[in-house]
C-alpha cells in the first residue's frame, strides 16, 4: 500500500497524470475554439454541415476531365478540381523525374560544359520561388501571339495565347486491337523476364532477355497494326476564323503549371540523383570491373540497385512536394482542387467545411503516394539477415 | 574504408619471397602506376590539353560539347543583346519602345514600389533602414564567433528598432498601419519571424514525438504528419479565413499576424522533423549516462540531449529558412503585399505593361541573391560540421 504522496514519485503514475492534464488542456482549447466557431457561424447565419455539396454550383470551370456544366452540384465541381490536381501532378511527376535524372547525371558528367550547364540550372531553379516561376511561365504563355499568328513549333503543333494545339489520332476500330496486342505483348515480356531469370538461376547460362522483351513488345502491336489496315489518320488543328478547329488542346494555365512544377522539382530531383549515385563507393565499380562486367552491366546490376536505395526516400518527398505545390495553381487560374474549393467557399460561406475537405483530400493523396513509395522502397531495400 | 591489418600484409606462407622484400615491392606499386608517360598529367601540359581531357575525351563527350556550344551560340548573343547591349537604362516608356532590348528604366521608375509596396512614399527611408538593419543582423548571425547569448539580445533590440521604424507613432515618426506595409520588409519579416517562432515549437513537437507518453506522442505525430501532408496554400487559407471564426466575437486579428501564425505552424512541423533527426543522432549512451547521473527528464533534455542535438540540426534549419523565405511568396494568395505581389502590381501599370519580363527578372534576382547566399552558407556549415568526422 502506497499513500498518494508516495505514488507521485512513480514515473508511471506521473506519466498518467501528465497525459490526463495534457488531454484536458487540449480538449478545453478545442471546445473553446469549436464553440466560438459555432457562435460566429450562427451570428453570420451560416448553416453548418455538408448539405451544400448537393446544391447547384452555378459556376463554370475552365477545363475538366469530366463532362461538367454550371448546373452540376458542388460535389461534382470538387471532383473535377481533384481530377485536375491529379492530372497535373501525375504529368508533372513523370516530366520532373525524366528531366531531373538527366540533369543529375549531367551534374556528374566528366564533360566540363555539361557539368557547368547542369549546375547553372540547379542553382537557378532551386533559389527562385516556385510561385514567381509559375507567374513568369504563365505571363509568357499569355503573351504569345493570337491564334492567327500562332507559332508552329513542330509541324501540326501550334503555340498561341490560347494554349497548345496538337494533332490527335482519328479514332478507328483497329486501335482497340492494337492496344489489346500491346497488352498481350507486355504480358509476354513479363513472362520472358521471369523465364529468363529462372533459366539463368537453374542452368547458369545467360538468356537473351532484352531481345526477347523488345520482340514481345513490338511484334504483336505491329502485326495488329498491319492486319487492321494501318489506321494512321490524324486530326490536325486548322485555323478557322479567330481560333483553331480540330485536334487536341491544352490550356495555357495547365501548360504553365506543368512546365513550372516540372522545371522546379527537376532541380531538386537532380541533386537527389547526384548524391544517390555519389553514395555508391567507387570500389563497387572497381569490383564490378574486376569481375569482368561490362560498363552497362556495372551500371545496371551494381550501381543503380545501390543508388536507388539512397534515392527513393527523398524522391518520395519530392513527389509529395510536387503534388502539394500544384495547389499554387490557384495563383494562375488553373481550376485545381484548391481553386474550386475556394470558389465554393466564397459562394456558400461554408468556409470550414471547404477548407477541411481540401485538407483531408490532400492528406489522403499524400498518404497514398507515400504508401506506394514505401512499398517500392521496401522492394529495393537491402535485405539483411 | 579498408584497413590493412598486419595479417593482410603478412606474406602468404607459400610465397617464396621473404617478408622484407614483400614490403618493398608493395611500396613500389604506386610509383609504377604513375610512370606511363601518356597519363593525364602529360596531356594537360600540351596546348589544349585541358580541353582534350575535359571536353573531347570520348566521342559522346565531343558530341555533348558541340551541342552545348551550339546552345551557347543560340542563347548567349541574343540574351546579351537583350540584357545589356540594346537595353535602355533610363528615360520614359517611349524610349523603351524605341530600344530593341530590355527596358531597365521600368526598374528605375518602379523600384520603390517593388521594394516597399504602398508604404507612404516620403517615409520609405524607414522600411529601407529597417531592411538594412535586418540584413546586417542576418549577416552577423552567420558568423560563428558571434554565437553568444548577447546575439539574442541584439536581435531583440533590432526587432524593437524595426517595429519603431515600421509602425512609427513615437519619436516624431508618423504612424503607419501595417496594412500599408509591403514589399521586401514583409518578405523578410515573415520568413524570419516564422522560423524564430517555429523553432521552440518544433523542439517541443520533436520531443513530444519521441516521448514515452502515448497521448502526447499521438498528438505530436498527428500534428506533424497533418501539417506535412497538406499544402502551405491550404494552411494559409485556413489561417486567413478560419482563424477569425475561432476567436470570440469582437476580437479581430490582423491579416499579417494570421498569415504569420499559419506559416509558423507549417514551418514548425517541418523543423520538428529536422530536430528529430538530431535527437536520433545522439548515441543512446548519452541518455543512459544522464539517467545514471540521476538527472530528471528536463535536466537530461536541457543539459545533455538538446545541446548536442541542436548542433547537428543547424544546417537543416538554414535549409528550412531558405524554404520559408521562398514560401513567403505564397502570402500573395491570401492578399498580403510581399515582394512578389509588389512586382506583379508594378507590371499592371498600363504604361509599363509590356516590360513584365524585366520586373520579374529583377524580383527573381532579389530572391535568388538571398537564397543562393544562404544555401552557400549552409553548405559551408555542413562542411564545418563534418570537418572532424570525415575520414
> Are A22 and A81 in the same domain?
no
Confidence of residue B44 (pLDDT cuts 50, 70, 90): low
pLDDT of residue B33: 39
Residue A62, in any domain of the structure: no
Higher pLDDT, A106 or B19: A106
Residues A34 and A84 occupy one common structural domain? no
> Phi and psi at residue A248, in whole multiples of 5°?
-95, 165
* pLDDT over 70 (residue B292): yes
Measure the CA–CA gap between B320 and B264, rounded to whole angstroms: 12
B245: contact with A, CB 8 A cutoff? yes
pLDDT of A383: 63
Domain hosting A31: range is 4-39
Contact A177, A228 (CB under 8 A): yes
Q: What average pLDDT does this structure show over B283-309?
A: 88
Which of B54, B234, B322 lies nearest to residue A358, judging by beta carbons?
B234
What is the rounded average pLDDT for all residues in chain A? 83
Give residues with Cβ within 8 angstroms of B266, minimum separation 6.
B194, B227, B232, B235, B327
Query: For all residues of chain B together, what is the average pLDDT?
Result: 77
Tell me: do A258 and A376 sit in the same domain.
yes
Q: Give which of B299, B272, B288, B300 is closest to B207, Cα–Cα.
A: B272
Q: Which of B216, B234, B239, B295 to mutate to test the interface with A (most CBs of A within 10 A)?
A: B234
Same domain, A20 and A98: no
Residues A87, A385: contact at Cβ < 8 Å?
Answer: no
What is the model's pLDDT at position A92? 93
- pLDDT score at A72: 79
DSSP per-residue codes, B283-320: -HHHHHHHHHTT--HHHIIIIIIHHHHHHHHHHHHHHH
Q: Within 13 A of A65's CA, how many CA atoms are on the CB side?
A: 13
Residues A364 and A290 in one domain: yes
Q: Based on the domain organization, do A138 and A256 belong to the same domain?
A: yes
Q: Is residue A50 part of a domain?
A: no
Are residues A359 and B238, on separate chains, in Cβ contact within 8 Å? yes
Tell me the shortest Cα–Cα distance from A375 to chain B, in angstroms: 18
Q: Closest residue of B to A330, CA-based?
A: B333
Residue A343's pLDDT is 86
Among the partner-chain residues B61, B237, B327, the one whose CB lies closest to the CB of A342 is B237
Query: What is the pLDDT averaged over residues A243-255?
Result: 78
Per-residue pLDDT, A156: 72
Which has more confidence, B190 or A381? Answer: B190
Residues 6+ apart with CB under 8 A from B50: B44
Q: Does domain B186-329 have CATH number 1.10.3720.10?
A: yes
CATH of the domain at A321: 1.10.3720.10
Q: Tell me if A117 is assigned to some domain.
A: yes
Q: Are residues A269 and A357 in the same domain?
A: yes
**Together in a domain, A8 and A133:** no
- Residues linked to residue A244 through DSSP beta bridges, in sequence order: A239
Instruction: Please determine, for residue B11, whether its predicted confidence score (pLDDT) is greater than 50.
Output: no
| Residues from chain A contacting residue B237 (CB–CB below 8 Å) | 338, 342, 355, 358
Q: Do A358 and B329 touch (CB under 8 A)?
A: no
User: What pLDDT is attached to residue B26?
Assistant: 38
Q: Which of residues 6-35 of B touch A (CB under 8 A)?
A: none
Residues A255, A376, single domain; the answer is yes
pLDDT tens for residues B120-163? 777 778 888 888 888 888 888 877 777 778 888 888 888 888 87
B222 and chain A: CB distance < 8 Å anywhere? no
Chain B, residues 331-360, CB within 8 A of chain A, namely: 332-333, 340, 343-344, 347, 356-357, 360
Quick check: A192 and A216 in contact, CB under 8 A? yes
Tell me, yes or no, whether A263 and A376 share the same domain.
Answer: yes
What is the domain partition of chain B in residue ranges?
186-329
Give the C-alpha separation, B332 to A331, whole Å.
9
pLDDT per residue over A80-102, tens digit each? 889 989 999 999 999 999 999 99
Is residue B213 less than 8 Å (CB to CB) from chain A? yes
Question: Do the domain assignments include residue A106?
Answer: yes
Q: ipTM of this model?
A: 0.79
Cα nearest neighbour of B347 on chain A: A139
User: How far apart are alpha carbons B117 and B341 in whole angstroms?
Assistant: 8
A294 — phi, psi (to 5°)?
A: -75, 160
Asked, for residue A349, whether it belongs to a domain, the answer is yes
Mean pLDDT of A232-239: 73
Please give the interface size between A and B, counted as residue pairs whose CB atoms are below 8 Å apart. 151
Summarize pLDDT for A105-131 with one digit per residue, the tens. Answer: 888 887 888 888 899 999 999 999 999
8 A C-beta contact, residue B209 and residue B221: yes
Q: Which residues of B touch A124 (CB under 8 A)?
A: 368
Give the total number of structural domains in chain A. 2
Contact indicator for B101, B83 with CB cutoff of 8 Å: yes
The confidence score (pLDDT) of residue B18 equals: 42
Which residues of chain B from 49 to 78 reach within 8 Å of chain A, CB to CB? 54-55, 57, 61, 64-65, 68-69, 71
Sequential DSSP letters for A102-119: HHHHHHH-SSHHHHHHHH
Percent of all residues in chain B with a pLDDT value above 70, rounded to a whole number: 84
How much is the pLDDT for A90? 92
Confidence band of B389 (pLDDT split at 50, 70, 90): low
Structural domain includes residue A53: no
Nearest chain A Cα to B348, which residue? A139
Structure confidence at residue B182 (pLDDT) = 76
pLDDT band at B45 (very low <50, low <70, confident <90, very high): low
Smallest Cβ–Cβ distance between B246 and the set A36, A113, A124 belongs to: A36
CB atoms B248 and A36 under 8 Å: yes
Q: Do A80 and A14 sit in the same domain of this protein? A: no
What residues contact A378, with CB distance under 8 A and at least 6 apart? none
Mean pLDDT of B205-234: 88
Closest CA to A187 of A213, A225, A206: A213
Q: Is the pLDDT of residue B29 over 50?
A: no
Examine residue A302 and state whether it is found in any structural domain, yes or no.
yes
Q: What's the confidence (pLDDT) of residue A89? A: 92
- pLDDT higher at A28 or A150: A28
Over residues A255-264, the pLDDT tens digits come to 889 999 999 9
Chain A hits for B333, CB-CB cut-off 8 Å, are: 328, 330-331
Q: Is B287 on the interface with A (CB under 8 A)?
A: no
CA distance B333 to A325: 13
| Cβ–Cβ gap A129/B326 under 8 Å | yes
Question: Which residues in chain B are contacts of A43 at CB distance < 8 A?
Answer: 249
Q: Identify the band that residue A231 occupies on the pLDDT scale cut at 50, 70 and 90.
A: low
Among A329, A356, A360, A332, CA closest to A344: A356
Residue A179 belongs to a domain: no
Which chain A residue is nearest to residue B366, measuring alpha carbons? A128
Q: Indicate the residue of A43, A117, A123 with minimum beta-carbon distance to B68.
A: A117
Q: How far is B197 from B202, CA to CA, in rounded Å?
A: 9
CA angle B284, B285, B286 (to 5 degrees): 90
Pair (A78, A16) in one structural domain: no
Burial label for B47, CB within 10 Å (0-12, 13-18, 19+), is exposed
Per-residue model confidence as pLDDT tens digits over A342-383:
888 888 877 888 888 888 999 998 888 888 877 887 777 766
Amino acid at each position: 500500500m502506497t499513500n498518494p504522496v508516495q505514488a507521485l514519485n512513480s514515473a508511471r503514475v506521473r506519466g498518467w497524470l501528465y497525459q490526463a492534464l495534457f488531454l484536458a488542456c487540449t480538449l478545453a482549447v478545442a471546445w473553446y475554439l469549436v464553440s466560438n466557431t459555432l457562435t460566429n457561424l450562427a451570428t453570420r447565419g451560416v448553416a453548418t454541415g455538408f448539405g451544400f455539396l448537393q446544391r447547384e454550383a452555378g459556376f463554370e470551370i475552365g477545363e475538366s476531365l469530366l463532362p461538367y456544366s454550371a448546373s452540376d452540384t458542388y460535389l461534382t465541381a470538387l471532383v473535377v478540381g481533384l481530377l485536375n490536381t491529379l492530372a497535373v501532378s501525375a504529368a508533372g511527376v513523370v516530366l520532373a523525374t525524366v528531366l531531373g535524372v538527366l540533369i543529375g547525371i549531367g551534374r556528374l558528367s566528366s564533360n566540363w560544359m555539361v557539368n557547368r550547364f547542369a549546375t547553372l540550372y540547379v542553382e537557378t531553379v532551386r533559389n527562385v520561388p516556385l510561385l514567381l516561376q509559375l507567374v513568369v511561365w504563365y505571363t509568357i504563355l499569355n503573351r504569345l501571339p493570337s491564334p492567327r499568328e500562332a507559332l508552329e513549333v513542330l509541324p501540326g503543333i501550334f503555340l498561341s495565347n490560347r494554349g497548345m494545339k496538337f494533332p490527335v489520332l482519328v479514332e478507328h476500330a483497329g486501335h482497340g486491337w492494337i492496344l489489346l496486342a500491346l497488352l498481350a505483348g507486355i504480358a509476354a515480356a513479363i513472362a520472358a523476364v521471369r523465364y529468363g531469370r529462372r533459366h539463368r538461376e537453374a542452368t547458369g547460362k545467360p538468356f537473351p532477355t532484352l531481345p526477347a522483351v523488345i520482340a514481345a513488345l513490338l511484334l504483336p502491336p505491329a502485326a495488329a497494326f498491319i492486319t487492321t489496315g494501318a489506321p494512321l489518320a490524324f486530326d490536325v488543328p486548322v485555323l478557322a476564323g479567330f481560333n483553331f478547329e480540330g485536334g487536341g488542346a491544352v490550356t495555357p494555365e495547365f501548360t504553365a503549371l506543368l512546365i513550372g512544377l516540372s522545371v522546379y522539382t527537376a532541380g531538386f530531383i537532380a541533386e537527389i540523383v547526384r548524391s544517390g549515385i555519389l553514395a555508391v563507393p567507387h570500389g563497387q565499380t572497381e569490383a564490378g570491373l574486376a569481375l569482368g562486367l561490362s560498363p552497362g552491366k556495372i551500371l545496371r546490376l551494381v550501381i543503380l540497385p545501390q543508388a536507388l536505395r539512397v534515392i527513393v526516400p527523398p524522391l518520395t518527398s519530392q513527389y509529395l512536394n510536387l503534388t502539394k505545390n500544384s495547389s499554387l495553381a490557384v495563383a494562375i487560374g488553373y481550376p485545381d482542387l484548391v481553386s474550386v474549393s475556394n470558389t465554393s467557399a466564397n459562394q456558400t460561406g461554408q468556409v470550414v467545411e471547404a477548407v477541411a475537405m481540401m485538407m483531408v483530400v490532400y492528406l489522403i493523396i499524400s498518404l497514398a503516394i507515400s504508401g506506394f513509395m514505401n512499398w517500392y522502397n521496401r522492394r529495393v531495400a537491402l535485405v539483411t539477415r | 574504408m579498408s584497413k590493412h591489418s598486419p595479417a593482410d600484409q603478412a606474406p602468404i606462407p607459400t610465397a617464396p619471397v621473404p617478408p622484407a622484400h614483400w614490403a618493398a615491392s608493395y611500396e613500389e606499386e604506386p610509383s609504377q602506376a604513375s610512370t606511363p608517360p601518356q597519363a593525364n598529367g602529360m596531356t594537360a601540359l600540351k596546348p589544349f590539353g585541358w580541353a582534350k581531357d575535359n571536353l573531347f575525351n570520348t566521342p559522346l563527350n565531343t558530341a555533348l560539347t558541340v551541342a552545348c556550344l551550339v546552345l551557347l551560340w543560340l542563347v548567349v548573343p541574343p540574351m546579351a543583346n537583350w540584357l545589356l547591349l540594346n537595353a535602355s537604362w533610363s528615360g520614359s516608356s517611349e524610349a523603351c519602345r524605341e530600344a530593341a532590348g530590355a527596358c531597365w528604366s521600368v526598374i528605375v521608375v518602379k523600384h520603390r514600389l517593388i521594394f516597399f509596396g504602398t508604404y507612404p512614399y516620403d517615409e520609405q527611408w524607414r522600411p529601407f533602414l529597417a531592411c538594412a538593419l535586418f540584413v546586417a543582423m542576418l549577416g552577423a548571425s552567420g558568423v560563428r564567433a558571434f554565437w553568444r547569448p548577447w546575439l539574442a539580445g541584439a536581435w531583440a533590440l533590432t526587432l524593437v528598432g524595426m517595429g519603431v521604424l515600421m509602425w512609427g507613432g513615437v519619436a516624431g515618426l508618423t504612424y503607419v498601419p501595417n496594412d500599408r506595409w509591403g514589399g521586401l520588409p514583409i518578405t523578410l519579416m515573415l520568413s524570419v519571424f516564422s522560423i524564430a517562432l517555429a523553432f521552440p515549437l518544433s523542439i517541443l513537437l520533436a520531443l513530444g514525438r519521441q516521448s514515452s507518453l502515448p497521448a502526447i506522442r499521438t498528438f505530436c505525430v498527428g500534428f506533424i504528419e497533418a501539417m506535412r501532408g497538406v499544402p502551405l496554400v491550404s494552411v494559409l487559407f485556413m489561417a486567413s479565413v478560419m482563424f477569425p471564426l475561432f476567436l470570440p466575437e469582437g476580437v479581430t486579428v490582423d491579416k499579417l499576424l494570421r498569415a504569420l501564425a499559419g506559416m509558423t505552424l507549417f514551418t514548425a512541423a517541418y523543423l520538428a522533423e529536422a530536430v528529430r533527426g538530431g535527437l536520433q543522432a545522439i548515441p543512446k549512451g548519452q541518455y543512459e549516462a544522464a539517467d545514471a547521473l540521476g538527472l530528471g527528464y528536463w535536466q537530461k533534455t536541457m543539459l545533455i540531449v538538446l545541446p548536442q542535438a541542436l548542433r547537428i540540426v543547424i544546417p537543416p534549419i538554414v535549409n528550412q529558412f531558405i524554404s520559408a523565405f521562398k514560401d513567403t511568396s505564397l502570402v500573395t494568395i491570401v492578399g498580403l503585399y510581399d515582394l512578389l505581389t509588389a512586382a506583379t502590381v508594378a507590371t499592371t501599370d498600363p504604361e509599363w505593361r509590356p516590360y513584365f519580363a524585366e520586373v520579374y527578372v529583377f524580383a527573381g534576382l532579389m530572391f535568388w541573391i538571398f537564397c543562393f547566399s544562404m544555401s552557400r552558407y549552409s553548405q559551408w556549415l555542413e562542411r564545418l560540421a563534418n570537418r572532424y568526422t570525415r575520414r
